[in-house]
Structure 1
Amino acid sequence: MTSPDLIDLTTWTRREAFEHYRDRVPCTYAMTVEIDATAFAAALRASSRKTYVAQIWAIATVVNRYREFRMALTDAGEPASWPVVHPAFTVFNAERETFAAVWAPYDPDFGRFHEQAAELLATASSATTMFPQGGLPPNAFDVSSLPWTSFTGFTLQIDGGTGHLLPIFTLGRYVERDGRTLLPVAVQIHHAAADGFHTAQLLGDLEALMGDASWVGA
């Protein structure tokens, strides 16, 4: 298992903000936006690739671009960052009306990631336990989907979650408006890890990646 890299506190520009929101005023915040996914949805309709897998890969790609969204705490409580984080995602069992939480190693090659994650989705859709892989690695961040409804706001109330620094994403059902396809995306993040600037930058990258969906492929 890869270990997180310690952050040099003497040069870290966010040290004061981290210490403030980690120790003195610990808090998380949530941001919900509608991503323009028109080109992304059209590319998927013309391909054999799975929408949910493509959404997960796109999120994991932009998350791995920024240290702020790969944050961790060492056993001694020191700030660190993972070299890479992997998506953990929910899979619905329609027969039981329950879900499983699984994870797939991030691969910058979408085709390779899709092959592994699509197989995992197919297997986990009949899982009868919440963690069929036996648990999630510490450098996994969470993605879940609510394809039954769209939303304009979504928050999680995490009891004792002030030590959880990795982001949490929730996706909603597409919304068709003025000829565009919009995807509700909610992200919850610890304020010690990232400010609103960083989250806005992340979501802008996600929209740009979905706007140029040539990577979706066959």
Structure 2
Amino acid sequence: MKQLIDLSTWNRREHFAFFSAFDEPFHGVVAEVDGARAYAQAKAAGESFFQRYLHAALRAINQLEALRYRIENGQVVCYDQIHASATLLRPDHTFAFSFVPFAEQAADFAPGLQREMAAVEQSSGLRLSPDSARLDVIHFSALPWVQFTSLSHARHFAHPDSVPKISIGRYCRQGEALLLPVSVHVHHGLADGYHVGLFLEAFQQELDRE
């Protein structure tokens, strides 16, 4: 489900109009979060760390209205629920797109992710489909080989994109902490640095959940 935003009364109408005219309306930051508790919990539960932090990121995104805004045919809509379009790796080191449905509880989220991982492994190519073009998603990727401090994305500027892009890099242990680089790119007409900060705060809280 989604709700149409009335641009005539929206407090971001000028921000939206201004940044929507840019060739590149996205802005991004890289920050670190502490994944130590989430990593330990994942290992104790016998699940992948990737599954744990992807679910935490989705739970955080779904708490924030600004990161559920999307642009459709020049209008702004707010989705009730956001899922993941994640790039998943194959044994031959190619990747494919996936659609991983959101679920509040980890036990309900895991089967959908596992089904997509199995489907990717048994396929070839990018797996382009209507699901890979959905707007009620985040574009999510993991780079566990790179402890990055900066990140950019391939972009087709003629394509009207408004989907947030979140990437997680290689972790680094620092004392008791396990620091994860997190790249967040969002459309500036829909969300500002303040909203990115709220996401990172919520993401950290979700990583620390019991």
Do they fold alike, i.e. is TM over 0.5? yes
What is the TM-score with the length of structure 2 in the denominator?
0.91
* C-alpha deviation, 1:94, in angstroms: 2.1
Contact 2:32 2:179 in 1 (8 A): yes
SS in 2 for 1:163: coil
In structure 2, what is the equivalent of residue 116 of structure 1?
112
SS in 1 for 2:21: helix
Matched, 1:103 2:99: yes
In structure 1, what is the equivalent of residue 47 of structure 2?
49
Q: Structure 2 vs 1, CA of residues 74 and 27 (structure 1 numbering), >3 Å: closer, same or farther?
A: closer
Q: Percent identity?
A: 23
State how 1:32-47 maps to structure 2 within 5 Å.
32-47=30-45
Structure 2 distance, partners of 1:132, 1:73, is 21
RMSD: 2.0
In structure 2, what is the equivalent of residue 21 of structure 1?
19
* C-alpha deviation, 1:163, in angstroms: 2.5
Contact 1:86 1:140 in 2 (8 A): yes
Q: Structure 2 vs 1, CA of residues 115 and 174 (structure 1 numbering), >3 Å: closer, same or farther?
A: same
SS in 1 for 2:112: helix
Structure 1 distance, partners of 2:102, 2:157, is 28
Q: Which runs of 5+ in 2 are unaligned?
A: none
Q: Structure 2 vs 1, CA of residues 48 and 194 (structure 1 numbering), >3 Å: closer, same or farther?
A: same
Contact 1:27 1:190 in 2 (8 A): yes
What is the TM-score with the length of structure 1 in the denominator?
0.88
Q: Which runs of 5+ in 1 are unaligned?
A: none
Structure 1 distance, partners of 2:194, 2:24, is 18
In structure 2, what is the equivalent of residue 175 of structure 1?
172
* 1:103-159 deviation per Cα after TM superposition (whole angstroms, max 9, x unaligned): 121111221111221232133234212117664223222101111121111122413
In structure 2, what is the equivalent of residue 143 of structure 1?
140
In structure 1, what is the equivalent of residue 63 of structure 2?
65
Structure 1 distance, partners of 2:117, 2:28, is 27
Poorly superposed stretches of 4+, deviation over 4 Å:
132-135
SS in 2 for 1:166: coil
Q: 2:125 aligns with which of 126, 129, 135?
A: 129
Matched, 1:185 2:182: yes
SS in 2 for 1:32: strand
